[in-house]
């Protein structure tokens, strides 16, 4: 399981958001974080609960065993991250990708993004 910290930055306008994002990037660089994912504010409040995603019992149990309890936690993983876990094979990961796509969501891209 990976160690992670989640930051949610809400701002009134684009200028304020840009300033806060620059400060957050500086903090992350100081802390030694090598990658970050930026999610627009519109997604922060619309993430469905894992139960709403209607995943099979096998996949839900695998997520629970991996310590993934929320959709926001799941979205921090890439397809490769999940495949490296002992609880997930190609079929389980494909199911996760398909179910997330049905809700307009996707796993983290394998490339680092700022």
The whole-chain average pLDDT of the chain stands at 76
The string of pLDDT tens digits covering residues 21-56 is 777 777 766 666 555 555 555 544 457 788 888 899
Q: What is the pLDDT, as a whole number, of residue 94?
A: 94
Closest CA to 74 of 42, 66, 38: 66
The Cα–Cα gap between 7 and 84 comes to 25
Q: Which residues of 57-72 are buried (b: 16+ CB within 10 A; e: fewer)?
A: eebeebbeebebeebe
pTM over 0.75: no
């Amino acid at each position: 399981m990976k160690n992670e910290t989640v930051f949610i930055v809400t701002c009134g306008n684009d200028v304020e958001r840009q300033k806060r994002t620059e400060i957050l990037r500086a903090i992350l660089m100081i802390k030694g974080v090598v990658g970050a994912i930026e999610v627009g504010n519109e997604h922060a409040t619309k993430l469905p609960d894992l139960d709403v995603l209607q995943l099979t019992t096998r996949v839900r149990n695998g997520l629970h065993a991996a310590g993934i309890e929320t959709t926001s936690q799941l979205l921090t993983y890439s397809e490769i991250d999940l495949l490296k876990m002992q609880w997930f094979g190609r079929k389980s990961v494909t199911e996760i990708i398909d179910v997330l796509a049905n809700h307009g969501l996707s796993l983290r891209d394998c490339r680092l993004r700022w």
